[in-house]
Structure 1
Amino acid sequence: MYSDLNHFLEDMRSKTIEEQKMMINEMINALNFDQLSQVINFLKEPFFTNNLKDYLLDSTLPDIKSKEFLFLVQAERYNGNIVRKFMNEAGISNYYLDKFINKYQLKKISSGMYIFPHKTLDAPFLFQSQYSKAVVSHETALYMLDLSDVIPRRTIMSMPKDYKLSQIEKNANRYMKIYDGLYNNNKSLIISYPENDPILLTRNAPIDSAQIVLKKTMNNNPVRVTSAEKTIADVLASSSTTEEEVKYEALKKYYDLYPRDSKRLRRVAQKQGVLKVLDKYLWELKLD
């Protein structure tokens, strides 16, 4: 391929980054298992130094086998939003975590939750981390599931009907501002965090685990969201104040995305008592 190494290196330097990446991929495909292991070991440090650069204090990567390195990997995974229970699950004890909280001067959001000073607080992710029964729902879920083009100006989350919202008010921290609100003509809570759309917390019928999916927030963190079928059933409920255009759009998009899942939609609609309403919309849209 090349007559000598110098010729090869000169050719590499003359190419764009994308061209160099393509050449490296070609080289990697020719390596055996042992050679690939050697390459990975060689690339570990520069790869993680670059990947974790936003979190390093002096551009120096901690020992890859250390707890501090593991902490930084987890910090990058959640975009600087630190949840103690997730750190514990990753193998970082409270002893080590407390050391890193001090060393990296993390800001405390609430009990067991912190954020790197230069990172954006991810309110939906942190709120769900604290309140495990909260699920993104209704119009917000429609948008996150690609069933609506309407960009929500708030994050609607559902809690079980019997959940005492007063507990959330009691546990409020200095980063949260809580107001009374209405949603679908029922009492709700509006929870405001800095640099985030408000969270509107409402009560909902029980949400089965089979009707919950994971999606990513704007900050690329995982949150629990009602399934497409559950979300459509929610916005078709008689108490729903969702705009008619949004309902029609959601059903058309659902049938585009899941053309073979109409039976599942009908089962969920029947369970929630909105099957007749669903049939009316489908008839008008000539979808079923």
Structure 2
Amino acid sequence: MMKKQAVIYELLQENNGFVTLNQVKESGVSYYTVKKMIGEGKLEKDEPGLYRLPKVYIDEYYSIQHRYPKGVYSLETALWLHGLSLTIPFEPMMSFPYGTNTKLIKEYGIKPIILRSNYDEGIVEVMPIKGQAVNVYSVERTLAECLRSIYKIDVQIIAPAFKMYARQNKINYSQLFKYAKLFKVERKIQSYLEVLD
């Protein structure tokens, strides 16, 4: 048993103090060992299949991503994760592919957006906490998508986001206009960029 626990401790060390059940199984250790370690107070369970050392903090966004791996953080939540918003999203927004059942997702407190198309377009990883990567749409896709009138994103959130983006001195015009065209918001993007010039 001690050898099996040593394997888990090694995995925990490699993963900044947390481990998934899949990683445990891949290492050849059974769930019984994990259960025993939880019972002894050596491990704590955050989500089904996600475990951590008692003193390790698991970011809420990472925890949600683990629960809903197909979800991609989008719109206001993506702005927040990219550092382009000072408003912490009350209800995390995630996009899912068409056909996803949203009942449990909504019950969990997530605002799901179901996409018939372009779900896979522009997914990047960000790390709110070291070693805890989450899927989020790229900055340029997020800025363009937030301008779609269907989402009714407040101008008080969008305007500062464009200003913060411009302050980073990394405006990617080709990507911005690619997504502006995709979401049919070219005029809106143009007017925001003109204000920044």
TM-score class, shorter-chain normalisation, is 0.7 to 0.9
Cα contact 1:190–1:201 (8 A) shared by 2: no
Corresponding pairs, count: 193
Structure 1 stretches of 5 or more lacking a match? 1-62, 170-188, 193-198
Aligned ranges 1:1-288 → 2 under 5 Å: 68-76=5-13, 78=15, 80-88=17-25, 91-95=26-30, 97-105=31-39, 106-108=43-45, 111-116=48-53, 119-120=56-57, 122-166=59-103, 168=104, 189-192=106-109, 199-204=110-115, 205-208=117-120, 211-217=122-128, 221-283=132-194, 285-287=195-197
| Bigger radius of gyration among the two | 1
Give the TM-score, by structure 2 length.
0.78
Shift of 1:145: 0.9
Q: Deviation string for 1:141-178 (max 9, x for gaps)?
A: 11211222223333222212332213x36xxxxxxxxx
Give distance in 2, aligned partners of 1:113 and 1:264. 35
SS for the counterpart of 1:99 is: helix
SS for the counterpart of 2:95 is: strand
1:158–1:116 CA distance, 2 compared to 1 (3 A): same
* Amino acid in the other structure paired with 1:206: N
Give distance in 2, aligned partners of 1:103 and 1:259. 47
RMSD: 3.1
SS for the counterpart of 1:141 is: helix
Cα contact 1:190–1:200 (8 A) shared by 2: no
* Amino acid in the other structure paired with 1:102: K
Give distance in 2, aligned partners of 1:136 and 1:286. 26
* Amino acid in the other structure paired with 1:238: S
Shift of 1:67: 5.0
Give distance in 1, aligned partners of 2:27 and 2:175. 41
Q: Deviation string for 1:58-103 (max 9, x for gaps)?
A: xxxxx9xx55334224334555543212334xx41242x4313313
SS for the counterpart of 1:268 is: helix
Give distance in 1, aligned partners of 2:133 and 2:142. 18
SS for the counterpart of 1:125 is: helix
Give distance in 2, aligned partners of 1:275 and 1:190. 36
Cα contact 2:92–2:111 (8 A) shared by 1: yes
Shift of 1:262: 1.0
Give the TM-score, by structure 1 length.
0.56
Give distance in 2, aligned partners of 1:220 and 1:148. 23
Cα contact 1:191–1:200 (8 A) shared by 2: no
Identity, in percent, stands at: 23
SS for the counterpart of 2:22 is: helix
* Amino acid in the other structure paired with 2:97: P
Give distance in 2, aligned partners of 1:274 and 1:190. 32
SS for the counterpart of 1:239 is: helix
1:243–1:140 CA distance, 2 compared to 1 (3 A): same
Give distance in 1, aligned partners of 2:88 and 2:62. 18
Structure 2 stretches of 5 or more lacking a match? none
Give distance in 2, aligned partners of 1:93 and 1:263. 47
